[in-house]
Structure 1
Amino acid sequence: MSSAARQPDRIETAPAFTAADVTALTERLAGQDTAAMLADLLLGELRGRVALVSSFGTESAVLLDLVASIDKSVPLIFINTQKMFGETLAYGDALVEQFGFTDLRVFRPDTHQLAARDAKGMRWGYDPDGCCDLRKVEPLARALAPFDAWISGRKGFQAGRAGLPRFELDAGRLKINPLADWDKARIDAQFAARELPRHPLEAQGYASIGCQPCTSQVQPGEDPRAGRWRHWDKTECGIHNQPVF
């Protein structure tokens, strides 16, 4: 065959989802129960296209239980920043075992980038944004590359997250926040009703748990996320405030 007749290879660059798709989903599933909404998507149009991302934090068991009750084969992504509490790692292992997830995918920071940008492992102390980018944002980008959509455990009652929608557009990928409209009382009621295990550090005053160096105990009356990046002008690690387009 001549070179003139050969068709060039094509690389698909169109986003998996658009703003119009997000609007349509929001309208179609408005008012639907959380479990029913998840079942509709996980067993329908998003089957094989979506992953669940979990930090194995203090409230993670609720969402893990909801998803596992529908489809235990949904890929479960955990970003091990290599700065995690040992208790978090053990708790995560226990949750995966209890709920029966069959496809756990653990991602870590790139070793070459760590050597170049955080050789002493102390970047969190002088550049927490850069540390989060290196240890969370970049690994999650790699983890999500095969997927058109992902499920987040964010809640609207958490500091800085008021008005959180169920569906968002994140760089052409659909982001789903099933617990967006759940309040703390509902979360606690679900823990009790389903007899879900609590994170072992919660009883010690850790209301929101991330990496060990940047997580502190929360005092009575403080916002649950007050213990994250204390004394820094920072409330998010970076994976939830990426450009939306």
Structure 2
Amino acid sequence: MPLESPLAPAAERAAELNARYAHHGAVAVLRHALTDPQVGTSALVSSFGAESVVLLHMLSRIDRSVPVVFLDTEMLFPETLDYQRDVAARLELTDVRRVRPDRAQVLTRDSDGVLHRSDPDACCTLRKTEPLERALKGFDAWITGRKRFQGGARTAMEFFEADADGRIKVNPLAHWDKADVQDYMLNNRLPRHPLTRDGFASIGCAPCTSRVKPGEDERAGRWRGLDKVECGIHFENGRAVRG
């Protein structure tokens, strides 16, 4: 967190921003988040997963130069890496930052690449949470694609939140439902992640992602069979904010 930031505490700013922009739509919230001094400097964090292209497209229509943080865990599907390159090129995003886990830490803590089998939480910490913390240093806020319809604690999500590190977390799509996402992708002729045609509804690391059966929750294919619903990026005060 930028220690010299003159901004007020994140919780106070989030409350004020929610009051001001409560009745705005997703594009307006994103536009204001990128220009409102109460938000500060922002980066968009994207997995380039099943629905990520919606928020990335919105960003490209407002400001293609905003930093986009892409977490390459080094365990992603090859299709995700290809899709990331394709989407970034199509939308002409000029500052996509591909962030990988620290090489020395990987050699120390997961040299054989099987940590996800014995301790998936530790693997997510190594490959996602810690790299994101490093990538967000110097930013006052980060933009996510989370939505209320995804369930759990997300059902009460606001446009603006304070995260555990004192940053503002911006959720422009908070109030969208599944139909809104699909309509936006169709109307704007956006490319879909290739794995969605093969039964993958929510796409993360290859070893921990499986196909979703008809009638299942779309995140049922993440960490199937384990008591785990989040990678750790959206944990606050030690608690997952979903599920």
Paired residues, number: 234
Q: CA deviation at 1:159?
A: 3.5
| Partner in structure 2 of residue 45 of structure 1 | 37
Q: CA deviation at 1:40?
A: 1.9
TM-score, normalised via structure 2 length = 0.92
Equivalent residue runs for 1:95-174 within 5 Å:
95-160=87-152, 161-170=154-163, 171-174=165-168
* CA 1:131–1:14: 2 relative to 1, 3 Å: farther
* Residues 51-106 of structure 1: per-residue CA shift (max 9 Å, x gap): 00000000001000111100000001001000000000000101100111111111
Q: CA deviation at 1:16?
A: 6.2
Equivalent residue runs for 1:1-245 within 5 Å:
12=4, 17-45=9-37, 49-160=41-152, 161-170=154-163, 171-243=165-237
The amino acid of 2:103's aligned partner reads T
The amino acid of 2:129's aligned partner reads V
Residues 147 and 176 in structure 2, CA contact (< 8 A), matched pair in contact too: yes
Partner Cα distance (1:104, 1:186) in 2: 26
Partner Cα distance (2:42, 2:6) in 1: 17
Residues 17 and 160 in structure 2, CA contact (< 8 A), matched pair in contact too: yes
- 5+ long unaligned stretches in structure 2: 239-243
| Partner in structure 1 of residue 241 of structure 2 | none
Partner Cα distance (1:190, 1:57) in 2: 16
The amino acid of 1:164's aligned partner reads M
Find the structure with the greater CA-based Rg: 1
The amino acid of 1:231's aligned partner reads G
Q: CA deviation at 1:154?
A: 0.9
Residues 152 and 175 in structure 1, CA contact (< 8 A), matched pair in contact too: yes
- 5+ long unaligned stretches in structure 1: 1-10
RMSD over aligned Cα atoms: 1.7
TM-score, normalised via structure 1 length = 0.91
Partner Cα distance (2:226, 2:37) in 1: 41
Q: CA deviation at 1:200?
A: 0.1
Partner Cα distance (1:82, 1:47) in 2: 31
Partner Cα distance (1:13, 1:102) in 2: 26
Q: CA deviation at 1:46?
A: 6.8
Partner Cα distance (2:193, 2:135) in 1: 24
Identity score, percent = 50
